Amino acid sequence: MLTEKVDIAHARLEFAGGAVANITASRVSTERVRKMRFFQQHEYISLDYARRDALRIGVKKPGPQPEFGFEKLNAPAVEPLHSNCKRLLMPFARGKSREPTGQRGVQRSNWPAA
């Protein structure tokens, strides 16, 4: 879009159980957005990792004149991406190299390297 590399990517994943995930990533956005949103019958949950807040909006009374309930939820104390990077880089900061084995976490795939 702006450079010769992929600047914005969007994927829609549909699961066998009926769940749908829309995933968007942009490295050229003018604002930092780190959100996850969950929709289910009569409820919407929004997690904002940049602002570190979470909100649940539920339908208290359905119908033509619905009533909604708003509940602020406990948000993570630490920004997840920062926490993961810190954990992965800690051995190097201590002067100890740690080679990835592929045994824990995401399994290796046949996808080509980026």
pLDDT digits (tens, 9 = 90+) for 12-23: 999 998 888 888
Q: What is the 3-state secondary structure (H, E, C) of 39-80?
A: EECCEEEEEECCCCEEEEEEEEECCCCCEEEEEEECCCCCCH
Q: What are 41's two structure tokens?
A: 């019958």
**pTM flag (> 0.75):** no
Q: How far is CA 33 from CA 27, 30, 49, 66, in A?
A: 11, 9, 8, 30
The residue ranking higher by pLDDT, 3 or 70, is: 70
The mean of the pLDDT values for the chain is 79
